[in-house]
Structure 1
Amino acid sequence: MKSPGCASRHVRYLIVFNLCLGIFFLSGFFHLKNKNDVISNSHERLLIPSAPCRAKTNVMFLKTHKTASSTILNIMFRFAERYNLTVALPADQHFHLGYPKTFLAHFVEGFQTIGQNYNIMSNHLRFNRSEVQKVMAPNTFYFSILRNPIPQLESSYIYYKDDVPAFRISKDVNEYLASPMKYYHSEAYKQNIYARNIMWFDFGYNNNAEDNKKYVQAVLKEIEQNFHLILIADYFDESMILLKHALCWDLDDVIYFKLNSRSQDTVQTLTPESKERIKVWCSLDWKLYQHFNQSFWRRIEETIGLEELEKEVNGLRTRQKELMEICLSDQEAVGKDHIKNKALLPFQSGAANILGYNLKQDLDNRTLRICQRMVLPELQYTSYLYAVQHPHKKRKQAGLFLPRTSLQEKTQPTPK
């Protein structure tokens, strides 16, 4: 027979054991509840179990030339509208933020009153970090996009044929590249910036600088310090997936229809000799591209992985195809002469035939608004947002644009 003391100790041990067991199950319950709370919130994803990913809403995009950057500008504008964000738009009747001048804060409409309270910046500018920082919040995410200089220069040649003296007086792009110094005069660099190392210029550097190894390495290092991410236009879908992850955005935030592209019949075929000459003539851009093309793929391998990237790219393309079937009557971009609604006609430049889209006629109001935004050309979209943000200012004259009433409604879903 057990003594009363032993029985008492046994009861105490049993109570302590049950109490510990209860705490264990309760902790498991609350851990599971917390986990489910995070999973159920579609706007939060886990980078690590204790660090939820939140969508970045302060974003600066350096819009480079002939790099599919108009498509990204459309993505940025749609995101700004979706979350009722403030966009740093060009002042007065301008569509560029002072370009090709080096950017200054007062190039932004309303800067004197709004100050450092803009969320999105994405119109063309020549980068100047200290001035951009006066406009954008300290936690702003900076990114840009580069393109292989070989097709990029050919694209620039066609698009700016009538505006750039070095292009205008040469017969075609191969003739220009055979002897570029015959046509290009560095003293007229402001007129000829599109003809040599244009991406280097857009990042704020001298596009006629000597290709010195020490200088190039210093610039590349500075760009890495100034920008959180550099995308590659030649891998645009992969770039959109990487951007989605970096910003913690949803798939529909980076879905796109290609904008400001041109018809294939306006593409000039570069000779093998011309392709090699571009690497020398635009050697600063070539080294810029090579460097960040490598870091682009390294970033993917370190953050997403190639297998997951392929899955997400396929998902993006599937969703894109769905939206094209919903929105577009032709299921593809069409030439300027086949765009029925001239309000959706993109700006036409040089010898290029800039493509656009025809929307279906039987779309309900909500779907129509979504589809309109996706096909709205850069100038029209800038003019519209300017009218919304600065209703007392004279509207930017973008030529033809959608009637204000058709775009006036602004959706304001709860931000992530």
Structure 2
Amino acid sequence: MTEAQPLSYQEGRGVLDSDIRAGLLALLGTPPEAMGPPPRQTWLMWRLCQLAGVSPGRPEEERAALSLSWGSSVQVFHRVPEAEEGSFWALPVLVVVLLVGFLCTDTGLLTLLLSGPAEGPPVTNIMFLKTHKTASSTVLNILYRFAEGHNLTTALPAGSRFHLGYPWLFLARYVEGAQQGSPGAPRHFNIMCNHLRFNLPEVQKVMPNNTFYFSILRNPVAQLESSFVYYKDSVPAFRGLRSLDEFLAEPQRHYDASLGLRNAYARNHMWFDLGFDNNAAAEEGYVRARLAEVERRFQLVLIAEHFDESLVLLRRRLRWRVDDVVYFRLNARSQRTVARLAPESPERAKRWCALDWRLYQHFNRTLWARLRAELGPRRLRAEVAQLRARQRELAGLCLQDPAPENSTRITDPELRPYQSGAADILGYNLRQGLDNATLRLCQRMVTPEIQYMARLYSLQFPEKPPKNIPFLENKGPGARERP
């Protein structure tokens, strides 16, 4: 038999699953429903350490009191002489002792063990409010892949449309097949994630009662800069201007509120996507009421600047696997089309988009409060590292080049992203010679949203004419016709 190799502290954490958790609680005589808030869990940690003969919170010499080693075919257990012999007669107690050896110096880790992620089947009824220029296209790809991989229905734009009635408030009739339900009751779908302007009563007509609602926000300075580049040719407030700096120097001169929906992209765009008035005054009472409204409806709001951390929390809430949320960045611009703003422009943008700024600040704080409460720094770092490692692994497997490419260099027309305004939207080439299963996986991860939506539409409604994508028909890769 080969010599037993010690299992590291970090590796030991990996063996803690729900069965062991249940066993610990049973040994303590504490049913799961009796588990209390952190103070109660801290007492449980102390009690477990007491059983092991190790004082909680003490340094290395006492943590060394217990170690777990693995041989090639057996598990070898060690203990220090100080522990009472009577405490080792039963195997369940031995399990407790071994676990405490890893946990008793880390109260945060034990709290995570005893309040681990909720168990149960994955969440499959999901409404994602796809805000504009917020990394939402990458989230949409994640949801499309999950829907396709699990044979779920998706609320897709009706007919030849590529969005759900945007920029008008959403209506159930904008969804293909919504009227095919029973008389007076529109059909329900599993996933809704295309662009729409939020209108809860109409959304509820096509989504089940137990739907999980979430959205994503981005720092409004970066969001406005991206909107300026992307919508420069189509938004009246931006037309004819050389830069966002020029717009922000005198925004009221260029912005005509009477144009309504046509100028929504130029001020408080995320606030507008939520269904609110983007020209409203940022009065404290009004802002607080709307923030509370968003809190009540959306179980989670992601933050683009902390995308991986957001996905870790989303994955836990949805009870999904890591591979369900791993991603490649989609609809991203080349750095040469990202403007460097004048020093005074960021503060001007925050004042001009004051409602978006309040919205972003509030939910950025909320996200980090939830991450601290549900994971803690150590667990969060580990799960983010796991996600990024899988992303690197898939990039090496799927992509011809690790970095996204200019659309003119993408050889497969179905993988060329739509181009808009002055933005240079990047895409990916896949490796040659992939087997069929790997090719399907990789294609799903890099397919741009318009092409993916059109493909899901044909799969879900084979009796309907397929979506026509103008910029792919008889066009070069640099075509900029708006779909």
Q: Normalising to structure 2: TM-score of the pair?
A: 0.73
User: Would you say how many aligned residue pairs link Structure 1 and Structure 2?
Assistant: 362
TM-superposed CA distance for 1:113, in Å, is 1.1
AA aligned to 1:322 is: E
Residue of structure 2 in register with 1:376 after alignment: 447
**1:42-191 → structure 2 map (5 Å cutoff):** 52-114=119-181, 115-191=186-262
Paired residues of 2:188 and 2:205 also in contact (CA < 8 A): no
TM-superposition CA deviations, 1:115-140 (whole Å, max 9, x none):
34200000000001111111100000
Larger RCO (CA within 8 A; separation ≥ 6): 1
Residue of structure 1 in register with 2:389 after alignment: 318
Residue of structure 1 in register with 2:314 after alignment: 243
TM-superposition CA deviations, 1:223-272 (whole Å, max 9, x none):
00111000000111111111101111000000000000000000111112
1:221 is matched with which residue: 292, 297, 312? 292
**Cα distance in 1, alignment partners of residues 188 and 202 from structure 2:** 14
**Cα distance in 2, alignment partners of residues 242 and 51 from structure 1:** 12
Give 3-state SS (helix, strand or coil) of 1:257's partner: coil
TM-superposed CA distance for 1:54, in Å, is 2.6
AA aligned to 2:325 is: V
Residue of structure 1 in register with 2:74 after alignment: none
TM-superposed CA distance for 1:398, in Å, is 2.1
Residue of structure 2 in register with 1:257 after alignment: 328
AA aligned to 1:91 is: A
Paired residues of 1:105 and 1:132 also in contact (CA < 8 A): yes
**Cα distance in 1, alignment partners of residues 129 and 237 from structure 2:** 25
1:304 is matched with which residue: 366, 375, 378? 375
Paired residues of 1:197 and 1:283 also in contact (CA < 8 A): yes
Between 1:137-146 and 1:106-115, the stretch displaced more is: 106-115
TM-superposed CA distance for 1:400, in Å, is 6.3
Residue of structure 2 in register with 1:209 after alignment: 280
TM-superposed CA distance for 1:342, in Å, is 1.8
TM-superposed CA distance for 1:337, in Å, is 1.5
**Cα distance in 2, alignment partners of residues 200 and 49 from structure 1:** 34
AA aligned to 1:241 is: V
Backbone CA RMSD of aligned residues: 2.0
Paired residues of 2:118 and 2:319 also in contact (CA < 8 A): no
Paired residues of 1:211 and 1:284 also in contact (CA < 8 A): yes
TM-superposed CA distance for 1:53, in Å, is 3.2
Dislocated runs of 4+, deviation >3 Å: 45-51, 399-402
1:353 is matched with which residue: 400, 403, 424? 424
Residue of structure 1 in register with 2:353 after alignment: 282
Paired residues of 1:105 and 1:134 also in contact (CA < 8 A): yes
Q: Normalising to structure 1: TM-score of the pair?
A: 0.84
Paired residues of 2:171 and 2:199 also in contact (CA < 8 A): yes
Change (3 A) 1:401 1:319: farther
**Cα distance in 2, alignment partners of residues 132 and 49 from structure 1:** 32
Change (3 A) 1:101 1:112: same
Give 3-state SS (helix, strand or coil) of 2:168's partner: coil
TM-superposed CA distance for 1:401, in Å, is 6.7
AA aligned to 1:112 is: Q
Q: Which runs of 5+ in 2 are unaligned?
A: 1-26, 28-89, 92-111, 474-483
Change (3 A) 1:379 1:50: closer
Identity %: 56
AA aligned to 1:385 is: L
Change (3 A) 1:368 1:221: same
**Cα distance in 2, alignment partners of residues 352 and 50 from structure 1:** 40
Give 3-state SS (helix, strand or coil) of 1:165's partner: coil
**Cα distance in 2, alignment partners of residues 208 and 225 from structure 1:** 23
**Cα distance in 2, alignment partners of residues 91 and 396 from structure 1:** 10
**Cα distance in 1, alignment partners of residues 261 and 383 from structure 2:** 42
**Cα distance in 1, alignment partners of residues 118 and 356 from structure 2:** 38
Paired residues of 1:89 and 1:109 also in contact (CA < 8 A): yes
Change (3 A) 1:381 1:49: closer
2:408 is matched with which residue: 327, 332, 337? 337
Matched, 1:394 2:465: yes
Q: Which runs of 5+ in 1 are unaligned?
A: 1-23, 30-44, 403-416
TM-superposition CA deviations, 1:177-233 (whole Å, max 9, x none):
100111110001211111000000000000001111100000000000111000000
AA aligned to 1:314 is: A
Give 3-state SS (helix, strand or coil) of 1:167's partner: coil
TM-superposed CA distance for 1:307, in Å, is 1.1
TM-superposition CA deviations, 1:34-56 (whole Å, max 9, x none):
xxxxxxxxxxx998589623310
TM-superposition CA deviations, 1:254-312 (whole Å, max 9, x none):
00000000000001111121100011000000000000000000010111112111111
AA aligned to 2:206 is: V
